[in-house]
């Protein structure tokens, strides 16, 4: 399944860092050193002439909230952070050096993932799960449910009324919002593979996109929904 196609993480740094070159010799925070937003961060710095392990190093910190905490405490010099967390946590002293979406667009930011082996062993269960997700997305994007969804965001996610309204509006943004019925866009894989190629994390020629996704479960779920009239 797919979701947002916009990279919502950006490079934030401590107040003493004024430009990307200032990150030379610094320790940066990442979710996991070899995957996820760490690859995007490596690519951003690569575009500015900085090489991993030669010019800077990574500390595996974890989730966005943990990276933000480490950054605010000055334990790392920079990290990929969702700007929303910076705003919500009042971390106005941090500097925004680079927006991730300027380097990778489109980007598969929210996905439904599992292993091929598990998927094949649990196909009926997975198809039912996909159906449930499609129904949920349809409900979320139905304007008649805006007030109830906003209430859920406030009660379950701890959002303020203004934050809930902002998050609701983002659901409809062309790239940042939810894709039509949760369908995955294979084209969003191209920037990811190209980044890895330029960082020498993957060889050339690039593998076919079909190596990395299998939409048969999604298509089966949609077909079942059509037959049932949902």
- pTM for the predicted model, two decimal places: 0.87
| Confidence label for 99 from pLDDT (cuts 50, 70 and 90) | very high
Taking residues 184-197, report their average pLDDT.
Answer: 93
Provide mean pLDDT across the span 151-174.
89
What is the 3-class SS of 43-97, one letter each residue? HHHHHCCCCECCCEEEEECCCHHHHHHHHHCCCCCEEEECHHHHHHCCCCCCEEE
Kindly state the tokens that stand for 119: 């998927």
How much of the chain exceeds pLDDT 90, in percent?
70
E strand intervals along the chain:
10-13, 27-30, 57-60, 78-81, 95-99
Q: Is pLDDT of 180 > 80?
A: no
The domains located in the chain, with CATH, are 10-102 (3.40.190.10), 116-187+208-228 (no CATH)
Q: How far apart are CA 184 and CA 79, in angstroms?
A: 27
Q: What is the per-residue pLDDT for 144?
A: 95
Q: From CA 213, how far away is CA 22, in angstroms rounded?
A: 39
For CA atoms 159, 161, 162, 167, the dihedral sign is positive
Q: Between these two residues, 228 and 11, which has the higher pLDDT value?
A: 11
Check whether 177 has a pLDDT greater than 90.
Answer: no
Residue 171's pLDDT band (cuts 50, 70, 90): confident
Give the strand order in the sheet containing 57-60. Answer: 57-60, 27-30, 78-81, 10-13, 95-99
Q: How does the average pLDDT of the chain come out, rounded? A: 92
């Amino acid at each position: 399944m797919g979701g947002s196609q916009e990279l919502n993480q950006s490079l934030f740094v401590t107040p003493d860092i004024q430009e990307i070159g200032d990150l030379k010799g610094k320790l940066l925070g990442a979710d996991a050193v070899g995957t996820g937003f760490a690859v995007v961060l490596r690519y951003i710095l690569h575009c500015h002439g900085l090489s991993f392990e030669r010019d800077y190093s990574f500390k595996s910190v974890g989730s966005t909230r943990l990276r933000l905490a480490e950054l605010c405490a000055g334990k790392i010099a920079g990290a990929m952070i969702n700007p929303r967390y910076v705003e919500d946590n009042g971390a106005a002293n941090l500097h925004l050096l680079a927006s991730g979406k300027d380097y990778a667009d489109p980007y598969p930011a929210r996905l439904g993932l599992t292993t091929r082996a598990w998927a094949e062993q649990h196909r009926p269960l997975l198809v039912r799960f996909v159906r449930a997700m499609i129904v949920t997305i349809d409900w979320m994007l139905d304007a008649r449910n805006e007030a109830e969804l906003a209430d859920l965001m406030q009660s379950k996610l701890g959002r303020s009324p203004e934050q809930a309204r902002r998050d609701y509006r983002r659901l409809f943004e062309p790239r940042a919002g939810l894709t039509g019925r949760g369908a995955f866009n294979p084209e969003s894989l191209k920037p990811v593979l190209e980044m890895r190629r330029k960082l020498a994390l993957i060889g050339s020629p690039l593998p076919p996109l079909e190596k990395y996704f299998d939409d048969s479960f999604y298509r089966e779920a949609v077909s079942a929904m059509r037959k049932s009239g949902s």
